[in-house]
Chains A and B, each alone.
Chain A
Amino acid sequence: MNDIQIQQHAPNPKKEHTRKRNNSVIHPFRIIVEKEVADLVGSWRFKILIGIIILTCAGSLYTALTNIGSAVKANDPEGAFFFLKLFTISDGTLPPFIVFISFLGPLLGISLGFDAINSEQNKGTLSRIMSQPIHRDYLLNAKFAAALIVISVMFFSLGFLVMGIGLLAIGIPPSPEEFLRIISFILLGIFYVAFWLNLSILFSVRFSQAATSALAGISVWLFFSVFYTMIVNLVDKATMPSQMAPAASVIGHQKFVLNLLRVSPSQLFSEATTTLLVPSVRSLGPLTIQQVHGTIPSPLPLGQSILLVWPQLTGLIAATVLCFALSYVFFMKKEIRSR
């Protein structure tokens, strides 16, 4: 009797185990991320932004395609990197693809993050979510992760679209190195947007009104893209050494001005992208005649290009992490009250 019972019961635990696995409960963090992604993709601002970006990309791709014939010259050291020109050339009527990305990327980041926390607070959902059995940082991390997922998917599909259309139009496939360069360019773009995203999330934690944090984000963006270069130019003129000064001090001055410019994340991004997409760029600072003397005008291999922009990349990631850390600290210390 007992034996029969045992035999009957024996397979059950296994069955239950599989059932449990099939019916397994999804981790709350994933649930929040799923919801945030759905919210972002379904929102109007995302549709508007993606519309703007697709239009500008189509425009710059069109100018690039119409001018690509004249862009290839004999003895061009970059002749082997014909495909990359799709992203960088223009006839002056419309800026090239990379300029558009460096200009619209911040807008994308800011608009995806500026109301991350304060809108939850104003809707009265923040205290409701926080009273559920989840860790407090889940919400902030999920907001960041969701926006990053959306941006990554968008950038990759955009980059591949441009590649695909270019492939159809010019009929020359990209070399493996070109492909890797484009992938690293897309990754760099994602890092760049992630920085602006984190900055705007930081503002959304600090400012209780969504409009204030959007304005703060946009003003930082405008400051760096318009006013900062003006200020640096002023500093440049004021501190310029005389024409009689020795070469070392002139170079020192140039390096100083360049480093000032590099405080701006958009400068870091544009230096990094040009190096990645224009393989003949071999230095981002001033070079003396002695240094250039005897060099063969050939493109750099991908590894060397990446090595060249490593400081820029590190700087961008550091700024991103700093913003995230600040918003994390502020959010964890925040007292969650109902609206």
Chain B
Amino acid sequence: MNPIIIELLDLTKKYGDYTAVNSLNLTIRKGEVFGLLGPNGAGKSTTILMMLGLTEPTSGSVKVCNIDSTTNPIEVKRRVGYLPEDVGFYDDLTGIGNLVFTARLNRIPEKEAKQKAEELMVKVGLSDDLKKKTGKFSRGMRQRLGLADVLIKNPEVIILDEPTSGIDPKGVREFLDLIVRLSREEGITVLFSSHNLHQVQQVCDRVGLFVKGKLIAEGNVRSLSQKLFSDELFVIEAGISPIWGESGSAVTESDPVVLQRTLENVDGVKTVAVKNNCYHIGCTRDVTPEIAKVIVGSGAGLNYLHRKEYGLDDIYNRYFEGGENL
């Protein structure tokens, strides 16, 4: 197992009476792409700020690369690249100029910094804009430049705070691909904070769900859904046309009810709900063939049969519905 690179122990941050982060425990191992998922104001950014030593925790400890971020932030910041939400650059410098400035703040000699900046500009796909001032950059370009800015110091960990907000879908895909590729190629640990489920699902090995300052679940998407929907891991949706029997006789009141009963009796099925000729069947294991058999056997017309696996969306919804009562 890879060594632990980020370790949060009982981390708490309070602003007056308001608790932004509430006794958070989290470990992230080297080379992982970890997604911190939560709605706005859940405390994701505050957690990240504490990891970088940019704000002090009320209690608890943060260790990044085995260094305490609160007492020794400089060493942590030497190893961690941070891309803030909606990153800004010095508008009157070129992209290269901005990168070189960052590199020199990291004590990289100017010559080396220039060469590296150019390489990175190509890597993040800004090779056409080497001489352009960043004031004229679009949002997506700035975000890419931000990634280059993070990479120029050869970080062991990169922390991205909502890096994709405000970029168009195509740009988002390219950006995410870039992150994953970099993480795989160079073994960089990535912490990715977002409120967008699909992006997190797309790139992250592991996900932590964050609501109101608490990490309420963590694991990969599959284990999360297992944890949450332990009784109904699969949902099968069946669309039925309201024609019963071969003769096409009128629908009787009893038929759908009968079908529902029959379905409930199938081994592995837990619940059956009917709505507008659409059956939602929750089951503990994959019993799609049996269900198909039962429906066809009942004489109803089967329009479609759709096996639904719980995605992050459902996990998210379920949590945040409950989140209000936490």
- Chain A residues with a Cβ under 8 A of chain B: 23, 25-26, 28, 31-32, 35, 39, 42, 123-125, 127-135, 335-339
Q: Is B88 a contact of A339 with CB atoms below 8 Å?
A: yes
State which of B45, B85, B102 has its C-beta within 8 Å of the C-beta of A132: B102
In the bound complex, CA of A35 to CA of B90 (Å):
10
Q: Is B77 a contact of A26 with CB atoms below 8 Å?
A: no
Q: With A23-B109, A129-B105, A339-B86 given, is the CB distance from A134 to B74 under 8 Å?
A: yes
Q: Chain B interface residue count: which class?
A: 35 or more
Which residues of the partner chain B approach A32 to less than 8 Å between Cβ atoms?
Answer: 105
User: Nearest Cβ distance between residue A126 and chain B, in whole angstroms?
Assistant: 8
In the bound complex, CA of A136 to CA of B278 (Å):
61
- Chain B residues with a Cβ under 8 A of chain A: 45, 49, 52, 54-55, 74-75, 77-78, 80-82, 84-92, 101-102, 104-111, 146, 149, 153, 161
State which of B84, B106, B149 has its C-beta within 8 Å of the C-beta of A133: B106
In the bound complex, CA of A159 to CA of B67 (Å):
52
State which of B54, B55, B86, B111 has its C-beta within 8 Å of the C-beta of A131: B54
In the bound complex, CA of A293 to CA of B89 (Å):
68
Which residues of the partner chain A approach B78 to less than 8 Å between Cβ atoms?
Answer: 133
State which of A28, A39, A129, A338 has its C-beta within 8 Å of the C-beta of B85: A338
Which residues of the partner chain B approach A26 to less than 8 Å between Cβ atoms?
Answer: 104, 110
Q: Is A132 a contact of B54 with CB atoms below 8 Å?
A: no
User: Nearest Cβ distance between residue A56 and chain B, in whole angstroms?
Assistant: 29
Known: A336-B54, A338-B85, A339-B86. 5 other contacts (CB 8 A): A39-B90, A124-B87, A131-B77, A132-B105, A133-B74
Closest to A24 in B: B109
Which residues of the partner chain A approach B77 to less than 8 Å between Cβ atoms?
Answer: 131-134
User: Nearest Cβ distance between residue A136 and chain B, in whole angstroms?
Assistant: 8
Q: Is A125 a contact of B89 with CB atoms below 8 Å?
A: yes
State which of A25, A131, A339 has its C-beta within 8 Å of the C-beta of B52: A131
**Central interface residue in A28, A127, A131, by most chain B CB within 10 Å:** A131
Counting from the closest, the 9 A-B pairs by CB-CB distance are A124-B88, A338-B84, A131-B82, A133-B78, A123-B88, A133-B77, A127-B84, A132-B105, A25-B107
